[in-house]
Amino acid sequence: MEVMPITAVERDERADANGGAPTLEFDRHVPYDRYVRASTLHTLQRTLSDDPGEMSFLMISQIMELYFGLIRFELRQAQGLLREDDVWGALAPLRRAALHLDGLNAAWRGLRWMTPAEFNRFRDLLGEGSGFQSAMYRHLEFALGLKTESLIRPFRRQPEVYAELVDSLESPSLWDEVIALLERRGLVAGGEGVVDAWVSIYGDTGPGNYLRMLGEALADVAEGFGDWRYQHLQAVRRAMGAKAGSGGSAGLVWLERSMARTVFPELWTARTFI
């Protein structure tokens, strides 16, 4: 289904012809559906039980998957611009990523109703399905520099997904691109002095210090991602306590351990010395 573009002049003409009311007749599919694919999206919720709460659980999980992909998209845009030494240009996708993280985190509120008894009504039907198995979440973690090779093993029997994850694992992360930029600017030598570089950057309080703006944009992204991990922990605690996870992990204990991994570590360490 192709979206047919129109010009500003055509929009004005149609509004005049309609007397200001929206167009109600179309020769083919509704243009909104041709673009958004809403009719497809709303066929993807296939619950495994008759419990009404499962729809919330499933749809919010799907919404989060879309946000993972969107945030990763923005981080990759920022990486490309940093690779070209366009620090100012990289600020826009990073700021968008931080706002998308706000939306992602807001999705947790839709699951606050779920008590252990309510989750148990459909949990067994999920089998070994777990958010731990989200390939797009792994792409997002890798983009942020949180790389653990063993975490792509579950996808080995999905060749295309696995190949994409291997590429993501082996490619430079956003933080790698930031450090490479600082090296090109002569602020870091041989991989050493990243903390000192950020101390120096933040010491320049002038309005044209784009690197300081970059540091703050990165901090916003790291904070937003940290908030998601914390809210995930809280949601698990609320819905299942300290029970074992569906994917074979220790549940809360596993999540608490994973939260100890810091995004952009030197950026935070530097703040102690500024």
pLDDT computed for residue 191 by the predictor: 60
pLDDT computed for residue 113 by the predictor: 94
pLDDT digits (tens, 9 = 90+) for 206-254: 899 999 999 999 999 999 999 999 999 999 889 888 787 777 676 788 7
pLDDT computed for residue 28 by the predictor: 77
**Average confidence (pLDDT) over 177-197:** 91
Averaged pLDDT of the chain = 93
Report the 3 state secondary structure along the chain: CCCCCCCHHHHHHHHHHCCCCCCCCCCCCCHHHHHHCHHHHCCCCCCCCCCCHHHHHHHHHHHHHHHHHHHHHHHHHHHHHHHCCCHHHHHHHHHHHHHHHHHHHHHHHHHCCCCHHHHHHHHHHHCCCCHHHCHHHHHHHHHCCCCCHHHHHHHCCCHHHHHHHHHHHHCCCHHHHHHHHHHHCCCCECCECHHHHHHHHHHCCCCCCHHHHHHHHHHHHHHHHHHHHHHHHHHHHHHHCCCCCCCCCCCHHHHHHHHCCCCCHHHHHHHHCC
- Indicate whether this model's pTM tops 0.75: yes
For the chain, domains (ranges, CATH) are 1-14+23-43 (no CATH), 54-272 (1.20.58.480)
pLDDT computed for residue 250 by the predictor: 65
